[in-house]
Structure 1
């Protein structure tokens, strides 16, 4: 092909390139591109924190206090919403599957999250579907009765339970929760049969216990009621005593210890920088007296797991709960 023909073929392409360069430099297009390039710092709008239990319980009060303090450090409100269901697993699982991993939607992650997939078919996996931000505390599980109950010791409860199999009832926050597992392990160790009654949260089982509708509660959230003299704690499922006058289940000859971590997480794939910002704000807020005061009232401990440690805890807990479910033969339909 003659050189002048090749030049004519190249000319239109060169002209198009010049046109595109000119358009890109025009104010009409350059302004939007410039705004996109300047990423907004996180957070630039309110953050939602889902509490997967009803309002009014210890968990709700605890994380509302935490959110209020952390909001000041983040410079944006943290809006707490209650979405109970499926023993505290429904709303975190839904968040993991449907919300963006941008840090603006988070959830309180209870320990039942690592157990439910072993009890029933689930479309989520706690080892893959969450970004673990921070572990903050652990529930203190106790075996409680009403203050005027006829039993003064756990041995008296078990003695009657052996004489009346299935007639002594206990309540806890949902099927497959740490309280349910602890109670069933306790009953198995004591060779008794108890009647399990599930509730949505501590506010519900405490009302049922105080109203005489159930005999026992095996759950956290008993601290304020015990301090007010409305219930009596017969034993705790802690490694060591949390109250000088209350023995642990292990001391009573039942090798049941329950450490049920509470923390905060979001959907999988969150930006590590966003995770760090949230982690640091929540860690600082956890040292505030408003948060610590509620921990003390519920005999709960301060724990700090950073994102890596919290992730490892979730993986280990998922496996240990698989073994516990298999040991007890539990299964949900």
Structure 2
């Protein structure tokens, strides 16, 4: 009696498992024909991240033959939208246009409602956005070696502005100080425009900022460039060398964007999204639009993106700990 009962119970479990497995495989095989895909941009409409998200979303829909709806879920420096995706069904129909902060910086600074390493899976690295280190026109340094020499002669006296405490540009400054062995004075602002306004007025000596915002000010002679923070020169500022070129070959600092999906999303779905997005990034029209926004396409495999995220997570955590960076409550 016991054996027969046990046999029937085990048979039911095996049948349920097989049915669920078949259902998941079938859903993955049908993807993305079932319904529209929602691409969540965790920042407000109209900004650079939103513009790029809509560009990728539109082209991704074309390649997949399915409607891609861009949703803006802004707030908490990108965490609200990212958390929404992390808690969504793992079926590939809710995708995150995930940015730097929620993935590799904020988990070291504040308690997050999700763990990016456990609750999200990487699909593809979309793009990097290098910054540019600029100076007031009257600063007695025009290159990285000159700046390092000046900073060493005045420890803590040279100031630099960024978009805020604990942001990617702040950490770009921390990383520069670490490699150069200097000490600068960080001045956080609520956005790029206030930082650049104070730089032009001579209230701060330096600023780390986006190339898109800095370029017209450089062309107008209102500020001067010291270096770009990427591994390669930016086509938008082709005459401006990188930090790496000027004596610090290990230096590179970006903000970045990638596609991520909820943990548990089937591998075939991730592969489909990865292949389609690589096709989008290979399109010359997309390339031209990204270049116009001083953005570097990346692409590649989900494994390469996972490795990049792991390295950035460790790097940012180390900089935050060594710099004793704490957000004010």
Residue 292 of structure 2 corresponds to residue 302 of structure 1: no
**Alpha-carbon distance change, 240 to 196 in structure 1, aligned in 2, over 3 angstroms:** same
Match of 2:12 in 1: none
Preserved CA contact (<8 Å) 2:42 2:97: yes
Aligned-partner SS, 2:128: strand
Which residue of 107, 118, 128 corresponds with 2:96?
107
Match of 2:231 in 1: 239
Deviations 1:37-74 (A, max 9, x none): 98554243222212223333333222221111111122
Unaligned runs of 5+ in 2: 1-22
Residue 157 of structure 2 corresponds to residue 170 of structure 1: no
Preserved CA contact (<8 Å) 1:87 1:175: no
Preserved CA contact (<8 Å) 2:38 2:93: yes
Deviations 1:216-252 (A, max 9, x none): 54233x2375168356533112234334421323445
**Alpha-carbon distance change, 184 to 55 in structure 1, aligned in 2, over 3 angstroms:** farther
Preserved CA contact (<8 Å) 2:170 2:186: no
Task: Quote the RMSD (CA, aligned, Å).
Answer: 3.5
Mapped partners of 2:175, 2:131: distance in 1:
13
Mapped partners of 2:125, 2:168: distance in 1:
17
Measured after TM superposition, the shift of residue 129 of structure 1 is 0.9
Measured after TM superposition, the shift of residue 181 of structure 1 is 0.4
**Alpha-carbon distance change, 43 to 177 in structure 1, aligned in 2, over 3 angstroms:** farther
| TM-score for the superposition, normalised by structure 2 | 0.73
Alignment of 1:31-42 (within 5 A): 41-42=31-32
Which residue of 80, 91, 94 corresponds with 2:70?
80
Mapped partners of 2:72, 2:115: distance in 1:
22
Preserved CA contact (<8 Å) 1:50 1:108: yes
Preserved CA contact (<8 Å) 2:151 2:184: no
Mapped partners of 1:171, 1:36: distance in 2:
46
Q: Which moved more, 1:41-50 or 1:273-282?
A: 41-50
Alignment of 1:215-230 (within 5 A): 215=204, 216-220=206-210, 222-223=211-212, 226=215, 229=219
Match of 1:191 in 2: 183
Mapped partners of 1:244, 1:265: distance in 2:
32
Match of 1:11 in 2: none
Deviations 1:103-129 (A, max 9, x none): 121112223212221222234222211
| TM-score for the superposition, normalised by structure 1 | 0.72
Measured after TM superposition, the shift of residue 166 of structure 1 is 7.2
Alignment of 1:1-333 (within 5 A): 41-96=31-86, 98-112=87-101, 113-144=103-134, 149-151=137-139, 153=142, 155=146, 168=159, 170-172=161-163, 174-187=164-177, 189-199=181-191, 205-206=192-193, 209=196, 215=204, 216-220=206-210, 222-223=211-212, 226=215, 229=219, 232-242=224-234, 243-252=237-246, 256-333=251-328
**Alpha-carbon distance change, 46 to 165 in structure 1, aligned in 2, over 3 angstroms:** same
Preserved CA contact (<8 Å) 1:111 1:177: no
Measured after TM superposition, the shift of residue 268 of structure 1 is 0.7
**Alpha-carbon distance change, 332 to 224 in structure 1, aligned in 2, over 3 angstroms:** closer
**Alpha-carbon distance change, 207 to 129 in structure 1, aligned in 2, over 3 angstroms:** same
Mapped partners of 1:270, 1:37: distance in 2:
11
Measured after TM superposition, the shift of residue 130 of structure 1 is 0.5
